[in-house]
Chains A and B, each alone.
Chain A
Amino acid sequence: MPVLEDGLPCNHGAHEDLIRKLRKLLPPEAVLTDKEDLRPFECDGLSVYRRLPLVVALPETIAQVQDIMRLCHALQVPVVARGAGTGLSGGALPLSDGVLLSLAKFKRILHIDPENAIATLQPGVRNLAISEAAAAYGLYYAPDPSSQIACTIGGNVAENSGGVHCLKYGLTVHNILMLKVVTMDGELLTIGAETLDSPGYDLLALMAGSEGMLAVIVEVTVKLLAKPERAQVLLAAFDDVFKAGEAVGAIIAAGIIPAGLEMMDKVAIQAAEDYAHAGYPRDAEAILLCELDGTNAEVSEHIMEVREILHQSGATEVRTAVNEAERQLFWKGRKSAFPAVGRISPDYYCMDGTIPRRQLPHVLRQISLWSEEYGLPVANVFHAGDGNLHPLILFDANKDGELARTEEFGQRILQLCVEVGGSITGEHGVGMEKINQMCIQFKTAELSQFHAVKAAFDPAGLLNPGKAVPTLQRCAEFGAMHVHHGQLPHAELERF
C-alpha cells in the first residue's frame, strides 16, 4: 500500500517552534511527536492512504481547541480534525506538515433532556452510546451507520453519516439541532439552536457532511426519537436479482416506507452466511431484508401487505423473523457483510455510489459485465430503499497491477452512477478517495462555488486542505489523463 510523503519543503525551525508553542497550551501527554505515537493516526478507515502527521494534539476543553486553532492560524499551519478514525474516504488523512487535532478526549454525554427529546454531546461520544444512554427514557438516536459501535457523533456530523434506516429516519443532517464549532481563527460559533429552526442561513445543513473543511465540531445537540413499539424484519429470497429490485419499487409504490430495506447479491449472501450464520438461503441470487417498525397494529398490517407484494414479485421464499433474536440475526448477516467479504478475498474496494432505484437493473448488469472484463469478482450490498449501492470489488493488492485495475473499475462504476442521475458518494464522503470523481459530478463553476463557500469559513484555507473539493488544476489534469490513458497512474499522489 502506498505511504504518502509530502513533497513540501521541510522547515524544521518552524516545526519546532509550533511544537514548542503547542506544549505551552497543552499538558505534555497531549502533544504527540514520536513516530510510534503518531502511527495510530496515520490513516482512517481507508487504510490504503497513510501519512504521518507532523504532530498530534489531544485537547480536552473547547478553550484548548480555540488556542490550538489560533496558534495554527497565526503560524499558517494546516489542521486536520479527527474523531474515531472510522471514516471510509480518507477524510482524516493527516498532513505531514500539519497538526492532527484529535477530539478523542471529548467523550462526555453532557445532557439528555427527555422532555424535549434532545441530547447534548461532546463530539467524541460514540454513536451507539447515545442510544444506549437514551434508552432509559424510551428514546434513541436514529442514524445508525454500520460502524456505530466505534464511530463518534462529531465524525457523523462531518460526514453526514447514514445507516440502514435512512429512508424513513433520514441522515445525520435530519437528526441534529445545534452545533458548537471552532473556526480556523479560533472563533467559537453556535450554529442552529435547541429549537427546531434558527434565524439566518441554514449553516447546520452546510456543516453536515462538510468533511472537516469548514470548522471543528466541539459540541453536538441531537434529536432523539421515541423507540418504536415494535420492529419486525422480513427476509425474501429471489432467483433473480432484478426481481428483487422490482420488489423494492413495488413495496414503495404500495405506500409503505420500511424502516430498512436492504438487498444483497449471491456473492455477498454466501460470504455473510459463512461468516455470521444468519440462516440466509445460500442458493438465492438475491435477498431482501425489509424491516417494518411503528405501532404494533401498524407493523402487523404492513407485514401482511409486504409479504403479499414479495410473493407477487416472484420471491421464492419469504420469512418473518419469529422473535427478536432472529431479527438481530438477520441483521447481523447484513451488518457484517463487509468483514465477511474481507474473509473471502485478500482485499476489497468498497464503492458508495447512489442511483435512482429504477436504474438498479441497468447498473447491476453493467457492473457484472465489467466484473468479467476485469476478472475481478464483485459482491453487491445495496441500501435498496434509498438507492445507495455498495459494490465491493474483490482483489489482491499483492498481485501486480490489481489495485490499479480495481481503482479503474471503481471509477467506471462511479462515473456510471453519475450518468444515470446519481452521485459518487451516498454516505462515505469524498475525502481523499473520491476527489477526482468530484470532477465528473460537478462542473468547474460548481467546484469554484464550493471553494468560495469554504473560504467564507476558512479564508486562509488551512482546515483539512486538499480534501473533499478538488482544485480546478487537479480536475484539468485528471480530465486530460482520463481521456488519454483511461486510467490514472499513481492515484495516491496529490496533484496541485
Chain B
Amino acid sequence: MLERDISEALQQQVHNAVVNGTPLKIEGGNTKAFLGREIHGEILDVSGHRGIVEHDPRELVLTARSGTPLKEIEAALAEAGQMLAFEPPHFGDNATLGGTIACGLSGPRRSFCGSARDFVLGCKLINGKGEILRFGGQVIKNVAGYDVSRLMVGAYGTLGVLLEISLKVLPRPAASHTLIQECTQAEAISKMSRLLSQPVPVDAACYHAGHCYLRLSGSEQAVKHAHEHLGGEVIEKSEPFWHALREHHLPFFGAAKPLYRIMIKPAMPPLEIAGEWLLDWGGAQRWLVSDEPIAFIRERVAKVGGHVTQFRGSEHNGEIFQPLATPLLVIHQRLKSSLDPHGIFNRGRIYANL
C-alpha cells in the first residue's frame, strides 16, 4: 500500500492555475469520465495523494486521502468486519474515494441505508483561491458551521479539490440472503414500496427482467424470520448479482442505446416510455434504455415529480443533468463563485455555465 501526501504540490498547481487563468480538470482514477459533461483543462492528478489516514473501527470512522483506491479502503474495512454502507459503484479498477464522493455515487443499499453524502462527516479541500480548508470533522454529530463537506458530494469537483474525506462506516451484517420472485414491473413496484412501511431487514430491492430481487441483511435470526414472512426463492451465492447490478455489468447496461437514470417516488406505477426498464433502490432509481428523445423523457418524468440524468451514450455537451429552475441556478452560480472565484475547477462538468 502506497501512502503519500502530495497536498502541497496540488495546492501549488492550483495557485499556478489561478495566476495563469488555466482551467483544471481534476482526475483521480479516471473511471468516471463518462459521467456528466465533457470538459477540457489541465489535468490535476489527485491519484498520487493516497493512504488511509485513520481508521479506528470502534469509532465507526475512516479518514483517507482522496486518491486512495476505493478497493484499498474496502479491503481495510472488510478486515475489521466493516463496510461503506452506501455500497459505492467503482465503474473501474482504479476508482478512488475522491471520485466516488465527488460524483456522489451510491449502490443498491442506498435507499435503505443512506447515500454517499449521508456518510460523509468531514473533508479537507483546496478551494479556488488555493487555500487548504477543513470542514466537518471525524465525529458523527457536528453542527458547527455550514455543512460544506456534504456540499462537495455530487458537485463533480466544480467547487474544490477534495484532499481528505472522513466517512462514517458500519459493521457488515452478520447474514445476508437474496430472495427472488417472478413478477411484472407493476407488481414489483407495489411489493417493494410496501416494504417501506414494514419493519423488515431489507437492504436492497430491485426489479430486473421479470423478477423482483430482495436482499435481506442482519442477524441470522432476523434474516431467517424475514424470509419466512416475505416468501420467495433464495438465490445461493447472490453476491455476484448485486455486484453486477452495482457496477453496471448486467447485460441490460451494455445496450447500444442511451442509458437514462430516472429518479422518482418509489411507489410511482410504471412509466409509459418505450424502452427497457431496470428498477433499483426499491423503485426510487429507475434505469431506462431507450431511443426516445430526452426532451420527451424529461417531460414525462417531470409530470410525476421526477428528474432524469443522461447516464451513458448521450451527447457529451448536452443537458446531461436535469436543468435547474432559474432562481436555483443563480444560487448555484453564486455558490460556485464563492468557492471557486476564478472558475478554474471542472468548469462545465454539471452545467454549461457552472
Residues of A within 8 A of B134 (CB): 442-443, 446
Q: Is B141 a contact partner of A297 (Cβ separation < 8 A)?
A: no
Q: Does A86 contact B (CB under 8 A)?
A: no
Q: Is B334 a contact partner of A455 (Cβ separation < 8 A)?
A: yes
* Complex: chain B residue closest to A429, CB-CB: B143
Q: Does A281 contact B (CB under 8 A)?
A: no
Q: In whole Å, how far is A381's beta carbon from the nearest beta carbon of chain B?
A: 14
**Chain A contact residues (Cβ within 8 angstroms of B): what range?**
35 or more
Name which of B10-18, B218-226, B246-254 contacts chain A: B218-226
Partner of A430, one of B144, B220, B222: B144
Q: Do A205 and B81 form a contact, CB below 8 Å, given A199-B309, A425-B144, A446-B135? A: no
Q: Does B214 contact A (CB under 8 A)?
A: no
Q: Does A308 contact B (CB under 8 A)?
A: no
Which of A196, A257, A294 has the largest number of chain B CB atoms within 10 A? A196
Q: Is B145 a contact partner of A450 (Cβ separation < 8 A)?
A: yes
Q: Does B284 contact A (CB under 8 A)?
A: yes
Q: Is B142 a contact partner of A423 (Cβ separation < 8 A)?
A: yes
Q: Is A174 a contact partner of B114 (Cβ separation < 8 A)?
A: yes
Q: Do A160 and B143 form a contact, CB below 8 Å, given A199-B321, A200-B321, A249-B58? A: yes
User: Chain B 131-155 against A: per-residue CB contact (8 Å), 1 yes, 0 no?
Assistant: 1011101111111111110110111
Q: In whole Å, how far is B349's beta carbon from the nearest beta carbon of chain A?
A: 12
Residues of B within 8 A of A449 (CB): 127, 131, 133, 148, 338-339
Q: Does B353 contact A (CB under 8 A)?
A: no
Residues of B within 8 A of A4 (CB): none
Q: Is B140 a contact partner of A166 (Cβ separation < 8 A)?
A: yes
Q: In whole Å, how far is B317's beta carbon from the nearest beta carbon of chain A?
A: 17
Q: Does A398 contact B (CB under 8 A)?
A: no
Q: Does A197 contact B (CB under 8 A)?
A: yes
Residues of A within 8 A of B56 (CB): 356, 358
* Complex: chain B residue closest to A208, CB-CB: B147
Q: In whole Å, how far is A316's beta carbon from the nearest beta carbon of chain B?
A: 23
Q: Does B270 contact A (CB under 8 A)?
A: no
Q: Does B278 contact A (CB under 8 A)?
A: no
Q: Is B117 a contact partner of A205 (Cβ separation < 8 A)?
A: yes
Residues of A within 8 A of B324 (CB): 199-200
Q: In whole Å, how far is B227's beta carbon from the nearest beta carbon of chain A?
A: 11
Q: Does A298 contact B (CB under 8 A)?
A: yes
Q: Do A442 and B138 form a contact, CB below 8 Å, given A205-B150, A298-B221, A357-B58? A: no
Residues of B within 8 A of A317 (CB): none
How many interface residues does B have (CB within 8 Å)?
86
Which of A357, A388, A469 has the largest number of chain B CB atoms within 10 A? A357
Residues of B within 8 A of A117 (CB): 196-197
Q: Is B143 a contact partner of A209 (Cβ separation < 8 A)?
A: yes
Q: In whole Å, how far is B326's beta carbon from the nearest beta carbon of chain A?
A: 10
Partner of B331, one of A188, A189, A354: A189
* Complex: chain B residue closest to A438, CB-CB: B144
Q: Does B285 contact A (CB under 8 A)?
A: yes
User: Chain A 399-433 against B: per-residue CB contact (8 Å), 1 yes, 0 no?
Assistant: 00000000000000000000001111111111000
Partner of A226, one of B199, B220, B224: B199
Q: Do A425 and B143 form a contact, CB below 8 Å, given A193-B307, A226-B199, A356-B61? A: yes
Partner of A301, one of B61, B104, B222, B322: B222
Residues of A within 8 A of B174 (CB): 255
Task: Tell me the B188-236 residues at the A interface (CB within 8 Å).
Answer: 193, 196-201, 218-222, 224-226
Q: In whole Å, how far is B201's beta carbon from the nearest beta carbon of chain A?
A: 6
Which of A197, A294, A426 has the largest number of chain B CB atoms within 10 A? A197
Q: Do A200 and B328 form a contact, CB below 8 Å, given A194-B305, A449-B148? A: yes
User: Chain B 282-312 against A: per-residue CB contact (8 Å), 1 yes, 0 no?
Assistant: 0011000000000000000000011101000
Q: Is B201 a contact partner of A427 (Cβ separation < 8 A)?
A: no
Q: Does B71 contact A (CB under 8 A)?
A: no
Q: Does B74 contact A (CB under 8 A)?
A: no
Residues of A within 8 A of B81 (CB): 255
Residues of A within 8 A of B224 (CB): 297
Partner of A114, one of B151, B197, B323: B197
Q: Does A78 contact B (CB under 8 A)?
A: no
Residues of B within 8 A of A459 (CB): 334
Q: Does A253 contact B (CB under 8 A)?
A: yes
Q: Does A203 contact B (CB under 8 A)?
A: yes
A301 to B220, CA, bound (A): 9
User: Chain A 140-160 against B: per-residue CB contact (8 Å), 1 yes, 0 no?
Assistant: 000000000000000000011
Task: Tell me the A240-269 residues at the B interface (CB within 8 Å).
Answer: 249, 252-253, 255-257
Partner of A197, one of B154, B328, B339: B154
Name which of B20-28, B179-187, B261-269 contacts chain A: B261-269
Q: Does A190 contact B (CB under 8 A)?
A: yes
User: Chain A 423-462 against B: per-residue CB contact (8 Å), 1 yes, 0 no?
Assistant: 1111111100010001001110110011011111101000
A214 to B335, CA, bound (A): 12
* Complex: chain B residue closest to A293, CB-CB: B199
Q: Do A202 and B154 form a contact, CB below 8 Å, given A196-B263, A388-B141? A: yes
Q: Is B198 a contact partner of A138 (Cβ separation < 8 A)?
A: yes
Q: In whole Å, how far is B79's beta carbon from the nearest beta carbon of chain A?
A: 13
Q: Is A358 a contact partner of B171 (Cβ separation < 8 A)?
A: no
Residues of A within 8 A of B200 (CB): 226, 295
Q: Does A283 contact B (CB under 8 A)?
A: no
Q: Is B59 a contact partner of A358 (Cβ separation < 8 A)?
A: yes
Q: Is A195 a contact partner of B220 (Cβ separation < 8 A)?
A: no
Partner of B335, one of A210, A388, A424, A453: A453
Q: Is A196 a contact partner of B197 (Cβ separation < 8 A)?
A: no
Q: Do A295 and B199 form a contact, CB below 8 Å, given A195-B305, A252-B60, A452-B338? A: yes
Q: Does A383 contact B (CB under 8 A)?
A: yes
Q: In whole Å, how far is A428's beta carbon from the nearest beta carbon of chain B?
A: 8
Partner of B58, one of A213, A226, A253, A423: A253
Q: Is A301 a contact partner of B221 (Cβ separation < 8 A)?
A: yes
Q: Is B170 a contact partner of A257 (Cβ separation < 8 A)?
A: yes
Q: Is A170 a contact partner of B221 (Cβ separation < 8 A)?
A: no
Q: Does B327 contact A (CB under 8 A)?
A: yes
Q: Is A298 a contact partner of B218 (Cβ separation < 8 A)?
A: yes
Q: Does A90 contact B (CB under 8 A)?
A: no
A426 to B138, CA, bound (A): 12
Q: Does B350 contact A (CB under 8 A)?
A: yes
A209 to B331, CA, bound (A): 18
Q: Does B47 contact A (CB under 8 A)?
A: no
* Complex: chain B residue closest to A162, CB-CB: B141
A376 to B339, CA, bound (A): 44
Q: Does A227 contact B (CB under 8 A)?
A: yes
> Which residues does B use to contact A, with CB under 8 Å?
56-61, 81, 104, 110-111, 114-115, 117-118, 127, 129, 131, 133-135, 137-148, 150-151, 153-155, 159, 170-172, 174, 193, 196-201, 218-222, 224-226, 263-267, 281, 284-285, 305-307, 309, 321-325, 327-329, 331-332, 334-335, 337-339, 350-351
A-B contact pairs, 11 of them (CB 8 A): A115-B196, A115-B267, A173-B147, A196-B281, A210-B146, A358-B58, A386-B141, A387-B141, A423-B142, A430-B145, A468-B145
> Which residues does A use to contact B, with CB under 8 Å?
113-118, 137-139, 159-160, 162, 166-167, 170-171, 173-174, 183, 187-191, 193-203, 205-206, 208-210, 213-214, 226-229, 249, 252-253, 255-257, 294-298, 300-302, 354-358, 383, 386-388, 421-430, 434, 438, 441-443, 445-446, 449-450, 452-457, 459, 468-469
6 tightest CB-CB pairs across the interface, nearest first? Answer: A205-B150, A255-B171, A298-B222, A297-B221, A426-B141, A452-B338
